A = this chain, B = another copy of it.
């Protein structure tokens, strides 16, 4: 399983992915699911992948190859985020063309989802959710976040807190709480978490970091959140329905 989140805010983007992969419970491994296609000062393009790891890696390889071999269009030549999303969708379709029939013979489905977030000079930051079929939707002020993978455990806190006008660092805090809830409830989602906090117009990915279990901020956050929830729970009076 996998958990990835992307948030589109007025002031920038927050994107995060876990790094656990598994095939059954006896084959668990760590693979990053965040790929950075940025060019400092010019464009920020970050891809988060969910689903079959072989498909994810094939898609990323297609995207890298097009850049390396100057095959047009590619993520380094494209002039807007919509066209970038189209390129990622087309890479997914190419892998589907190559692999889907073979997967079907092994009763494996082509369930893939990709988040693409970033900013290209001349545009505001944009965030896309790209489906297995290669088509996609774009986040907007009213629905400022997308999740892929194991989405349910971590959704309530996003729904309660995140708005388009949320502060970037506050949104990063909320994202990590969302990961905490998911990691507690689903063994197939695990640290380290790759996290990008991107400030609109900065055109740098300096704020990408890898958060491990021993990260001091993440440890403090998990502890404080758990204690806080228990405190709030205790403060609400019990009903007196059974005496």
What separation, in Å, do the CA atoms of A170 and B241 have in the docked complex? 10
State whether the Cβ of A53 lies closer than 8 Å to any Cβ in chain B: no
Rounded to whole angstroms, the CA-CA distance of A32 and B235 in the bound complex is 31
CB contacts (< 8 Å) of A242 on chain B: these are: 12, 168-169, 172, 197-199, 207
Is A228 close to B, CB under 8 A?
Answer: yes
Contact with B along A136-152 (1 / 0, CB 8 A): 00000000000000001
Which of B153, B156, B172, B238 sits near A241, CB closer than 8 Å? B172
Q: Enumerate chain B residues within 8 angstroms of A230, measured Cβ to Cβ.
A: 160-161
Beta-carbon nearest neighbor of A223 in chain B: B236
Interface string of A147-180 (1 = CB under 8 A from B): 0000011011101110000011110111001000
Q: Is the CB of A224 within 8 A of B235?
A: yes
In the complex, chain B residues whose CB is within 8 Å of the CB of A225: 232-233, 236
**Assembly CA distance A27 to B240 (angstroms):** 36
Bound together, the chains give a CA A184 to CA B232 distance in angstroms of 19
**In the complex, which residues 171-216 of chain A have their Cβ closer than 8 Å to any Cβ of chain B?**
172-174, 177, 181, 184-185, 195, 197-199, 207, 209
Collect the chain B residues with CB atoms within 8 Å of residue A71's CB: none
| A181 near B197: Cβ-Cβ < 8 Å | no
Q: Which chain B residue has the least Cβ–Cβ distance from A11? A: B242
B156 touches A155 (CB 8 A): no
Q: List 17 A-B contacts (CB under 8 A).
A: A153-B153, A159-B185, A160-B229, A161-B233, A172-B238, A172-B239, A173-B233, A173-B236, A173-B239, A195-B241, A207-B241, A217-B239, A220-B236, A228-B232, A228-B235, A229-B232, A231-B232
Q: Which residues of A pack against B, CB within 8 Å?
A: 12, 152-153, 155-157, 159-161, 167-170, 172-174, 177, 181, 184-185, 195, 197-199, 207, 209, 217, 220-221, 224-226, 228-233, 235-236, 238-242
